[in-house]
């Protein structure tokens, strides 16, 4: 059955990720119905939205009007017949998601798209008890915080229908998100695998004393990462090869291979000694800093940068 235009979104779970999705959906003019059984969840969400709606890049709605289309329901079943898409953000536990998705599948009309924000569990593992239409279930994995960072990794399971994959990508694009299709279920999807590769080498360099934690971060924020925000690693290689990726590979490939060989020799092994060493070095640095302020400054700059990129 073909998916329909998405005007009303259901959000399950309003923790870190669900609340941020709510800010985005509301700021883009959608109706949002949310549920979360935690005591005080509604008050906490409203407070969050009051201070974060205004940060959404290219918002369609004034911050004062942002909560107008928000409905909080105490029972999950109260939203199931009323939404065109569900974005699920409950706890990251297989038993929880398996039971929840069987219930969602059973109790929502067949065309309703159901996306899970899960960062680790592949949906093939939690659609096992869905009998009605598991083809409309997929992962829509955001990067924190979803109301600021455009990336969403769309990860179908082997039985997800391509029409639902297309509908999910179109929906996220309509909100100025940047969906990336992950064609095979792979632990960590794409972004977290890349992050793991870079971080493992960072931990190794810091624990070996090759560079301080502060300077490691500076290498990224003043060089590598700054450029990567504009041209990704592959385009950066292509430009570095004089607008010729083959040239880059032929001329710098062997050097890269040599560095990788050395990295393999000094691989961070997550042994207690190595972990303690990197913890000590990082904590010595960050314990002197005002982390709340750093986060707020980052998010403000991030919102402005994204808004600028989208113009
Ligand atoms: N935190 C991140 O950086 C991040 C990034 C991307 C994706 N995710 C994914 O998003 C999902 C949520 O993560 P989070 O960090 O927001 O966790 P969280 O613990 O902050 O929020 C989970 C929320 O789910 C609620 N909940 C529990 N049982 C529920 C139920 N039966 N129905 C509805 N809500 C229920 C909890 O009360 C809580 O508010 C996870 O699958 C996680 O993997 C997290
Ligand atoms: C609320 O939703 C309605 C119906 O989709 C829409 O027309 C209206 O613009 C929305 N209002 C706000 C403030 O987003
Ligand atoms: C790109 O580089 C490759 C390998 O160095 C070379 O063979 C090829 O001619 C180059 N292509 C262009 C368009 O310059």
Task: Set out the domains of the chain in order of their start, with CATH numbers.
Answer: 8-181 (3.40.50.720), 191-310 (1.10.1040.10)
Q: How confident is the model at residue 276 (pLDDT cuts 50, 70, 90)?
A: very high
- Give residue ranges with CB within 6 A of ligand 3: 244, 246-247, 250
Q: Which candidate in 42, 88, 153, 201 is catalytic?
A: 153
Say whether the peptide bond before residue 181 is cis (omega within 30 degrees of 0): no
Confirm or reject: Cβ of 238 under 6 Å from ligand 1. no
Q: Which residues pair with 179 in a beta bridge?
A: 152
Instruction: Report, as an integer, the average pLDDT of 223-243.
Output: 97
The residue written with tokens 């929502």 in the block is: 108
pLDDT at 13 over 70: yes
What's the pLDDT at 120? Answer: 86
Give nearest CA residue, ligand 1 atom 42. Answer: 118
Q: Say what angle helices 245-265 and 233-240 make with each other, to 10 degrees.
A: 120
144 in ligand 1 pocket by Cβ < 6 Å? Answer: yes
The stretch 244-248 carries a mean pLDDT of 98
CA distance 1 to 4: 9
pLDDT attached to residue 311:
80
Nearest atom in ligand 1 to 38's CA? 37
Give the span between the Cα atoms of 185 and 203, in whole angstroms. Answer: 27
Q: Is the CB of 195 within 6 Å of ligand 1?
A: no
Closest CA relative to residue 205, chosen from 277, 287, 283, 285 = 277
For the question of residue 64 being annotated catalytic, the response is no
Task: Name the pTM for this structure.
Answer: 0.95
Ligand nearest to the CA of 244: 3
User: Residue 310: pLDDT band by 50, 70, 90 thresholds?
Assistant: confident
Q: How far apart are CA 88 and CA 139, in angstroms?
A: 9
- Is the pLDDT score of 1 beyond 60? no
**Band of residue 3 on the pLDDT scale cut at 50, 70, 90:** low
Q: Comparing C-alpha atoms, which of 129, 152, 132, 134 is closest to residue 142?
A: 152
Distance CA 195, CA 89 (A): 22
CA of 51 to the centre of ligand 2 (A): 20
> Which candidate, 154, 190, 151, places its Cα nearest to that of 306?
151
With bands split at pLDDT 50, 70 and 90, how would you rate the model's confidence at 2? low
Q: What is the pLDDT of residue 140?
A: 98
Model confidence at 161: pLDDT above 80: yes
7 CA closest ligand 2 atom index: 5
The preferred substitution site among 23, 91, 148 for testing ligand 1, maximizing ligand atoms within 8 Å of CB, is 91
Summarize pLDDT for 51-90 with one digit per residue, the tens: 999 999 999 999 999 999 999 999 999 999 999 999 999 9
The answer to whether 139 and 123 have CB atoms below 8 angstroms apart is: yes
- CA–CA separation, 101 and 99 (whole Å): 6
Mutate to test the pocket of ligand 2, among 5, 31, 49, 70 (most ligand atoms within 8 A of CB): 31
């Amino acid at each position: 059955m073909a998916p329909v235009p998405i005007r009303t979104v259901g959000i399950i779970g309003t923790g870190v990720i669900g609340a941020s999705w709510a800010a985005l959906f509301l700021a883009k003019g959608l109706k949002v119905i949310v549920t979360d059984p935690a005591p005080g969840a509604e008050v906490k969400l409203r407070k969050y939205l009051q201070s974060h709606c205004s940060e959404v890049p290219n918002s369609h709605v004034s911050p004062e009007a942002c909560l107008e289309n928000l409905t909080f329901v105490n029972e999950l079943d109260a939203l199931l017949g009323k939404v065109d898409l569900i974005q699920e953000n409950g706890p990251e536990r297989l038993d929880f998601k398996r039971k929840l998705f069987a219930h969602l599948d059973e109790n929502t009309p067949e065309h309703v798209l159901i996306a899970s924000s899960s960062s680790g569990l592949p949906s093939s593992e939690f659609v096992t008890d869905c009998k009605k239409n598991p083809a409309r279930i997929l992962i829509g994995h955001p990067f924190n915080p979803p109301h600021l960072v455009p990336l969403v990794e769309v990860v179908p399971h082997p039985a997800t229908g391509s029409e639902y994959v297309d509908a999910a990508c179109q929906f996220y694009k309509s909100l100025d998100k940047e969906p990336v299709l992950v064609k095979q279920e792979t632990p960590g999807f794409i972004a977290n695998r890349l992050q793991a590769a870079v971080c493992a080498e960072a931990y190794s360099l810091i624990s070996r004393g090759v560079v301080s934690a502060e300077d490691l971060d500076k290498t990224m924020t003043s060089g590598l990462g700054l450029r990567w925000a504009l041209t990704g690693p592959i385009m950066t290689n292509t430009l570095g090869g004089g607008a010729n990726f083959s040239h880059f590979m032929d001329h710098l490939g062997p050097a890269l291979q040599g560095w990788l060989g050395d990295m393999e020799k000094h691989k961070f092994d997550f042994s207690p000694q190595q972990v303690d060493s990197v913890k000590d070095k990082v904590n010595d640095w960050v314990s002197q800093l005002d982390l709340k302020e750093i986060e707020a400054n980052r998010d403000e700059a991030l919102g402005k940068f994204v808004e600028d990129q989208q113009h």
